[in-house]
Amino acid sequence: MKFAVLVFPGSNCDIDCYKAVEDTIGEPVDYVWHTATDLSAYDCILVPGGFSYGDYLRCGAISRFAPVMAEVAKAAEEGKYILGICNGFQILTEAGLLPGTLRRNMSLKFRCHDTVLRVENNQNPFTTGYLPGQEIKIPIAHGEGNYYCDEATHAKLKENNQIIFRYVGNPNGSLDDIAGISNERGNVVGMMPHPERAVDSLLGSEDGKLMFTSILKAWRDRHESASVR
């Protein structure tokens, strides 16, 4: 399984994402620059956190028009796995690959600490390793992680089981305590907390590891069942 970590000017969690793949599952992983126009070689695309384009205008608003994003949309359409973390989540919502948007934290403070998340949907390819309702410790680091969508979208998210994680103790004012969601099909996931920063007990938590092992398992299940041996 081959991973791409997108790199925008201002990405600063790209190395963490790369290392998380390398250290937790040891699958091949490449940095892919925002000007790239071909992602066909990759099975999973990680859109890392940071401050792409300085977050000028709005978080993710400018990056959404980077050449590589057309390829990300194509990959999403093809059913490839895409995970946007923090700024990556903001970029995916701006690109319309995930519904809603991220607003300024209710407290107006930049929040940088561990949070407890509840796994609301463990049937998603990124979360099959977790137990339903499992509480996990994953850090956050953001100023604009206050998830918002309109009522109709919210109803749809609930109906389709697209709410993947909720905060236990809402740190930013997110609607319905939402910490992470998926698209309708489930192959595109966005979350404000950083699972790539929780892959070793030295970092304070290993709870993020299961997202990487889950996605590898999902990919293997899909591909091994398709191949004749």
Partner 1 sequence: MIKATVYVTIKQSVLDPQGVAVQGALHSMGFEEVQSVRIGKYMELQLDTSDRNEAEARVKDMCEKLLANTVVEDYRFELEG
Q: Looking at the annotation, which residues are catalytic?
A: 86, 194, 196
202 binds partner 1 (CB under 8 A): no
The minimum distance between CB 100 and partner 1, in angstroms, equals 7
| Torsional sign, CA 221, 133, 16, 14 | positive
Q: Work out whether 111 is an interface residue with partner 1 (CB under 8 A).
A: no
The residue range among 4-12, 25-33, 105-113, 182-190 that interacts with partner 1, by the rule CB under 8 A, is 105-113
Q: How far is the first Cα of the chain from the last one, in angstroms, to the nearest whole number?
A: 18
Q: Give the CA distances from residue 121 to residues 126, 170, 174, 222, 228, in Å, rounded to whole numbers and listed in that order.
A: 10, 18, 18, 19, 31
- Kindly write out the interface string for residues 164-183 of this chain, putting x where it contacts partner 1 by CB under 8 A and - elsewhere: ---------x----------
User: Least separation, in Å, of the C-beta of 71 and partner 1?
Assistant: 19
Question: Considering the rule CB under 8 A, would residue 100 count as an interface residue with partner 1?
Answer: yes
Query: Whose structure tokens read 């590891």?
Result: 209
Q: Which residue in 2, 19, 58, 217 binds partner 1 (CB under 8 A)?
A: 58
Please, which residues have CB within 8 angstroms of residue 78's CB and are 6 or more apart in sequence?
none
CA distance 107 to 104: 8
Applying CB under 8 A, among 148, 156, 200, 206 the residue interacting with partner 1 is 148
- Please state the closest distance from residue 22 (CB atom) to partner 1, in A: 35
CA atoms 100, 8, 16, 24: torsion sign:
positive
Instruction: List the one residue from 149, 157, 189, 210 that touches partner 1 (CB under 8 A).
Output: 149
Under 8 Å between Cβ of 194 and 86: yes
- Measured from the CB atom, the residue of 33 and 65 that comes closer to partner 1 is 65
| 150/176 with CB nearer partner 1 | 150
Q: Could you tell me which residues come within 8 angstroms of residue 96 by beta carbon, excluding any fewer than 6 positions away?
A: none
| Range in contact with partner 1 (rule: CB under 8 A) among 36-44, 100-108, 189-197, 201-209 | 100-108
Residues in the chain: 229
Residues near partner 1, by CB under 8 A: 57-58, 61-62, 65, 93-94, 100-101, 103-108, 146, 148-150, 173
